[in-house]
Amino acid sequence: MPRISSRTETFTDSVIRRMTRVSLQYGAVNLSQGFPDFEPPKEILNRLAEVAKEDFHQYSITWGAQNFREALAEKQSRLMGRKIDPNSEIVVTCGSTEAMMAAMMTVTDPGDKVIVFSPFYENYGTDAILSGAEPIYVPLIPPEFNFDVDVLEAAFKQKPKALILCNPSNPCGKVFTYEELKIIADLAEKYDTFVITDEVYEHIVYEPNKHIYFSSLPNMQERTISCSSLSKTYSITGWRLGYIIASAEIIDAAKKVHDFLTVGAAAPLQEAAVVGLKFGDKYYKDLQEKYTQKRDLFLKGLDDIGITHTVPQGAYYVLLDISEFGFDSDLEFCETLARDVGVGAVPGSSFFREPVDNLIRLHFAKKEDTLNEALSRLENIRKKIPSRK
Ligand code: GLN
């Protein structure tokens, strides 16, 4: 037998998605892979039922259905503070996962370097491997997850092609301030670097924090490739609807990459989602309130149990400190947690470049009943998982 590619030997399957399978195996409340267990907006579901009987069963235009791009351009123009052209400045992708991969392939050549903040969403490391780029990791230092400007500039001095910015950040919940974004913007300009953003949690931000689109900073529009998706905003992670917004020149190249990667996102789902893209401001305000309540409930539950944890400014993840249990492997801890306590989590080591083994990630994008059930199981954590110290 010939050998399979050496490229595929350099990474494992996604630990996040593996933990969903582990949770299913043990019947655990799955707070590992971040997706909701509540329904998407009924307007979108009603439209989906109608679309089944309409003429949307063949390919849409490869870079996205016209009315989807028009509705998206209108929504994002309002938010991003500039007029986005639906024809030349958008590519609709299969989730933000494809958007990020296509963005990487659009701007990097094999051997190019890209800056990645650590902790980071695990796909970025693999995106780099698949596109042949080499990551330079810059730590976000706990507990505030700030970065050291000198360390960041040292990374820029290695002449990276791009910086990847996940804001609000998965897994640490950081929402970058204007001052922090401005430092990144000034360095991107000084060292002539692209910035690829992952802004899928743009609408899940807790007061008083505010999401600032990186492309809206002075002179940044031309060098920013903004990636996002409808998954988290409309609770439709399984629909795989994402997009890239950038200048016409970048989008021209991204369209070609996307065309040969996937041809296009599902046509009927694009059509059904248009109604969501046209929601007014109230929808996003309500979403923010809903997630604020979930965050408060979940964090209070963790406090009552007495587990040290992060307090997210945005997104829907919490990092819990498991040092007291004395495990050498956070992966083994998560397997034990799923099996013996009945709660699914992701080992922190899948997000950090640094040798971190004392953190696990839980998410709270779940119904209150589900969160309460997880919390009541976690109350027994010290009985069910004796400390190995
Ligand atoms: N972003 C989600 C998480 O971090 C999962 C996304 C995915 O699995 N595609 O859990």
Indicate the pTM of the whole model.
Answer: 0.97
Contact 232, 242 (CB under 8 A): no
Q: What is the mean pLDDT of residues 247-276?
A: 98
Query: Facing residues of 137 across strands?
Result: 116
* 86 preceded by a cis bond (ω within 30 of 0): no
Nearest to 271 by CA among 3, 30, 66, 39: 66
- Domain 55-280 listed as CATH 3.40.640.10: yes
Kindly list the domain boundaries of the chain, sorted by start residue.
6-40+282-384, 55-280
Has residue 389 got a pLDDT over 90?
no
Mutate to test the pocket of ligand 1, among 237, 317, 363 (most ligand atoms within 8 A of CB): 237
- Ligand 1 atom nearest residue 32's Cα: 10
Of the candidate ranges 9-13, 47-51, 227-231, the one whose mean pLDDT is the lowest: 9-13
Which pLDDT score, from 0 to 100, does residue 10 have?
87
Q: Residue 142: which of 381, 351, 334, 335 has the closest Cα?
A: 351
Q: Residue 34 Cα, ligand 1 centroid: separation in angstroms? A: 5
Minimum CA distance residue for ligand 1 atom 2: 34
Pocket test for ligand 1, best of 30, 33, 366 (most atoms within 8 A of CB): 33
Per-residue pLDDT tens digits for 107-143 = 999 999 999 999 999 999 999 989 999 999 999 999 8
Other C-beta atoms lying within 10 Å of the C-beta of residue 367: 13
Strand 241-245 to 224-229 pairing: antiparallel
- Arithmetic mean of pLDDT over the chain: 97
Ligand 1 cavity residues, CB under 6 Å: 16-17, 33-34, 97, 121, 170
What confidence score (pLDDT) does residue 189 get? 98
Q: Average the pLDDT over 57-69 and give the result.
A: 97
According to the CATH classification, is domain 6-40+282-384 in 3.90.1150.10? yes
